[in-house]
Amino acid sequence: MNPADAPDDPPPDTLAGKLLVAMPAMPDPRFAHSVILLCAHSPDGAMGVMVNKPLPDLNLQKLLEHLELPLPGTESGLADAPADMAVHFGGPVETARGFVLHSPDVVTEEGSLDVAAGIVLSTSVEILAEMARGQGPAQALTALGYAGWGAGQLEDELQAGGWLLTDATPTLVFGTDDSLKWSATLSGMGVDPRLLSGATGHA
């Protein structure tokens, strides 16, 4: 079919909205067994947020206190984002910068981007302020840092067999335990993690 006959089709050169699933042979320990939501992708490069690696010593309450956005009292606290909600390692780039992936029921005027169906990326502190007020989105995942690739780098890693690609869903990003996201994402693709070769490809 002529591409002109399907103007509503997404651009074929973007992988934004996909999940990257690390293969077992991933040589970089920071990305071992990682699941990354690609938030932007173009010929110039790509960026994504890792969604399955909680930081061991940081939770939402500590992050909000650091930003001087203390949680409200327990009577009006975060119904859907408890104070001990994990803050994730989003990637090794700009590790002091915060990112919130969340459901589209709450959006900010600045710094919000539709990433996939049911998933929005916000970079403004405003979304954290809404969460601190107990008025945040029903589903949210907070991360510090992101993963970045230069022009052609991600494509090379995909061709070398370092990653698998699949569609992102709110269930995988928000509704699956962090410790299970890698295996659950593979299972959703019909891949048995136990059958993947630990020596497949390079990244």
Q: Give domain 3-195's CATH number out of 3.40.50.1580, 1.10.630.10, 3.40.1740.10, 3.40.50.1170.
A: 3.40.1740.10
Report the distance separating Cα 73 and Cα 150, nearest Å: 44
pLDDT tens per residue, range 1-48:
344 443 444 445 689 999 999 998 888 999 999 999 999 999 999 999
pTM of the model: 0.85
CA dihedral 138, 141, 142, 147 (to 10 degrees): -150
Give, for 169, the enclosing helix (H) or strand (E).
none
pLDDT tens per residue, range 91-119:
999 999 999 999 999 888 777 899 999 99
Does 165 have pLDDT greater than 90? yes
